[in-house]
Amino acid sequence: EVQLVESGGGLVQPGGSLRLSCEASGFFFRNFAMHWVRQAPGKGLEYVAGISSNAGNTYYVDSVRDRFTISRDNSNNTLYLQMGSLRAEDMAVYYCARSGWLRGHFDYWGQGAQVTVSS
């Protein structure tokens, strides 16, 4: 069974940093592209970042480029999102998701990790 489990969320002050993790199981992690998608309270889905299966290519939405870094550890089946210079508008539930390639549909999603940015 494919499982994606996010962790690392929490409360952080504006300007602070946080690292999210997504532990994958039930499939060959190294064969799939991975993504982060977020959802602000009461809002819709917003694509954040993606990384190819071998980490050779990454993509970021403009609003997080230069502040967030997506990475992966294929030996430990884990996806990461290092978030820096956090702003109030970054507050959201962050989901990790899997796709066959970097620009593909997302066939499995995690349950999400809450990130709260507040002083």
Partner 1 sequence: VLTQSPDTLPLSPGERATLSCRASQSVSANYLAWYQQKPGQGPRLLIYGATSRATGIPDRFSGSGSGADFTLTISGLEPDDFAVYYCQQYGSSPLTFGGGTKVEI
Residues near partner 1, by CB under 8 A? 35, 37, 44-47, 50, 59, 61-62, 95, 97, 99, 103-112
Tokens 């990454």: give the residue. 58
If the CB atoms of residues 23 and 46 are measured against partner 1, the closer one turns out to be: 46
Separation between Cα atoms, residue 14 and residue 101, nearest integer Å: 34
CB of 56 to partner 1, least distance (A): 16
CB of 107 to partner 1, least distance (A): 5
Burial 29-64 (b: 16+ CB within 10 A, else e): beebbbbbbbeeeeeeeeebbbbbbeeeeebbeeeb
If the CB atoms of residues 15 and 59 are measured against partner 1, the closer one turns out to be: 59
CB of 46 to partner 1, least distance (A): 7
If the CB atoms of residues 17 and 57 are measured against partner 1, the closer one turns out to be: 57
If the CB atoms of residues 7 and 17 are measured against partner 1, the closer one turns out to be: 7
Separation between Cα atoms, residue 100 and residue 104, nearest integer Å: 6
Q: What token pair was written down for 5?
A: 């489990």
CB of 13 to partner 1, least distance (A): 26
Q: What token pair was written down for 11?
A: 């409360």
